[in-house]
Amino acid sequence: MRDINEDGDEMIRRIVDELKTLPAVPADATARVLARVDAARRGEGASDYGSADDDDVIFFPATTEEMRAFPSAGSEAVRARTSPGASRGTGRFSRRFIISLPAAIGYALAATLAGFLIRGAVPRRPSEPTVARLPNAPVAESLGARTKVVPAAASTRALQEAPLKVQFVLDAPRAKSVTVVGDFNAWDGSKTRLERDSTTGVWSALVDVRPGRHVYAFLVDGKTWTLDPNAPRTKDLDYGTEQSVMIVGMQ
Amino acid sequence: MSTIDMSIVQRAKRGDRAAFAALVDFYYARSLRFAVHMLGNSQDAEEAVQDTFVRVHGALHRYDEFDRFESWLFRILANRCRTMMGREARRSRVLVYGDLAQDRGTPPDVDAIVWREEIQTALAALPAAQREAFLLRHVEGLEYEEMGRVTGAGVSALKMRVKRACEFLRLRLAEVERA
């Protein structure tokens, strides 16, 4: 590796050496590819064979934190997506997404107006807090994430912004370790470990989380991505991974 | 890191079936290695790689030879891996370690197996963007500019992802060694 030392040391070198081991390739791998190519050319199988969706890619920085840290990253991403052909005005990005400025302003105004109309027409209901509850749960406690304690605060603004204690609970009696990862702890699997109740096998932790919408998941035994069984789910914009959603402080 | 003879790519682009087969042979193992590490599961990885080469064949006429072929191939492969990750919101990452090693005839070294499993577990715990950047940089040996063309992210962001991935892996595996 040319410049492993820029990031690494002996430990990284050992990891990389292990990861460089090539897997065994099935003997019929190439034959299967050719058979699928033939089928696709005859119009069987993959309908997107030869589509333009493959070789133009965009992926913005994975986290808003990275976006903030590197404000040029977004523009880099757009440049990266446009292939040499695209830079000459023939790429998918330029063909599909460039619209004139007056049209863009018109669409924005129309969307804003529609938003106001819908907002006025639909009666507003107070938001429900996210409280996870699993039918036939083996423990009395509800599973998932729930707001536990509201802290005292000196002013309304401070109260609105002050972190709340959120209790994360997961019933995983056979797990060796459970952590919670989410946007509130930078998806760091080592930051928030849950403690196991030895009698029930239920894992829980109290975590300070600022009010607002948050996404999270449990990591069981350091590798098993587990969603809250009772919380709504969403997909990560970049990678499509499912995450649980909670609203903190919307009581 | 060896690269393919461009005349093979040119012949494949002109529709030469044997050249395309040679291209698949040349890149299959590396593509499979990347997909296994990204998806953590050899069956999905195999599917992603098969899809990739079918798509490569369909898109070869659009491949611009100013772009390095390897970057172009990995762009399609990384796309397929992301699509698979989105489709299968995994509750569990089951790693089939036995499929990784090529030399199955040698007797198993328990320490080596444990070490490999710990690496795979740590890799799986990384955020997907960091895992992707780390693998492209250090395992596949791509330059940051090429990685930018593969992932659509900026060079600075990619450097940060690789740095964070290294920190995480170093910390996690140092803990394992101490245990």
CA of B95: which chain A residue's CA is closest?
A223
> A218 vs A37, A65, A214, A242, B51, CA distance in Å?
40, 21, 13, 12, 31
Which stretches in chain A have pLDDT values below 70?
Answer: 1-8, 44-99, 119-161, 237-240, 250-251
Q: Does B96 touch chain A (CB under 8 A)?
A: no
Indicate the number of domains in chain A.
2
In a domain, A169, yes or no: yes
Instruction: Give the separation between CA B111 and CA A227, rounded to whole angstroms.
Output: 33
In the stretch 105-164 of chain A, residues with CB closer than 8 A to chain B read none
- Domain match, A89 and A154 both: no
Of B55, B89, B169, the CB nearest to A15: B169
Cβ neighbors of B30 (< 8 A, separation 6 or more) are: A22, B140
In a domain, A107, yes or no: no
In a domain, A3, yes or no: no
8 A C-beta contact, residue B175 and residue B150 = no
Q: Which residue has the higher pLDDT, B135 or A241?
A: B135
Domain assignments of chain B as residue spans, ordered by start: 6-178
ipTM value? 0.83
- Domain match, A85 and A153 both: no
Of A52, A84, A241, the CB nearest to B89: A241
pLDDT for A45: 55
- Domain match, A174 and A84 both: no
Mutate to test the interface with A, among B49, B137, B138, B145 (most CBs of A within 10 A): B138
- Looking only at the bridges linking them, the beta strands covering A202-209 and A195-196 are antiparallel
- Domain match, A81 and A160 both: no
Instruction: Give the separation between CA A14 and CA A167, rounded to whole angstroms.
Output: 39
Q: Residue A240 region, left (φ>0) first, then alpha (ψ -120 to 50), else beta?
A: left
Instruction: Give the separation between CA A43 and CA A32, rounded to whole angstroms.
Output: 16
Closest by Cα among A156, A154, A161 to A211: A161
CATH number at residue A241: 2.60.40.10
Among the residue ranges A30-34, A84-88, B22-26, B38-42, the one predicted with the least confidence is: A84-88
User: Domain containing A172: what range?
Assistant: 144-248
Q: What DSSP element (H or E) covers B46? A: helix B42-59
Contact B32 A61 (CB under 8 A): no
Among the residue ranges A49-58, A207-216, B49-58, B118-127, the one predicted with the least confidence is: A49-58
In a domain, A214, yes or no: yes
What are the φ and ψ backbone dihedral angles of A224, each rounded to 5 degrees? -95, 110
- Domain match, A150 and A86 both: no
- Domain match, A237 and A178 both: yes
Residues of A in contact with B66 (CB under 8 A): 84
- Domain match, A159 and A91 both: no
Mutate to test the interface with B, among A223, A226, A228, A235 (most CBs of B within 10 A): A223
Of A18, A77, A227, the CB nearest to B119: A18
In a domain, A39, yes or no: yes
Tokens found for residue A198:
């030895």
- Domain match, A173 and A239 both: yes
Q: pLDDT by residue (tens digit) across B150-165?
A: 888 899 999 999 999 9
8 A C-beta contact, residue B13 and residue B20 = no
- Domain match, A233 and A173 both: yes
Of A12, A23, A241, the CB nearest to B33: A23
In a domain, A113, yes or no: no
Cβ neighbors of A124 (< 8 A, separation 6 or more) are: none
Closest by Cα among A7, A76, A104 to B150: A76
Collapsing DSSP to helix, strand or coil, A161 comes out as helix
**How many other CB atoms are there within 10 angstroms of residue A38's CB atom?**
13
In a domain, A131, yes or no: no
pLDDT for A162: 77
Q: Which residue has the higher pLDDT, B16 or A62?
A: B16
Instruction: Give the separation between CA B143 and CA B138, rounded to whole angstroms.
Output: 9
pLDDT for A65: 44
Architecture of domain B6-178: Orthogonal Bundle (1.10)
Collapsing DSSP to helix, strand or coil, A220 comes out as strand
Q: pLDDT by residue (tens digit) across B61-111?
A: 888 877 789 999 999 999 888 888 766 544 344 443 344 444 445 555 677
Q: How many angstroms separate the CA of residue A87 from the nearest CA in chain B?
A: 12
pLDDT for A64: 43
Instruction: Give the separation between CA B26 and CA B7, rounded to whole angstroms.
Output: 13
Q: Does B154 touch chain A (CB under 8 A)?
A: yes
In a domain, A125, yes or no: no
Contact A80 B83 (CB under 8 A): no
Give the mean model confidence (pLDDT) for residues B33-52: 91
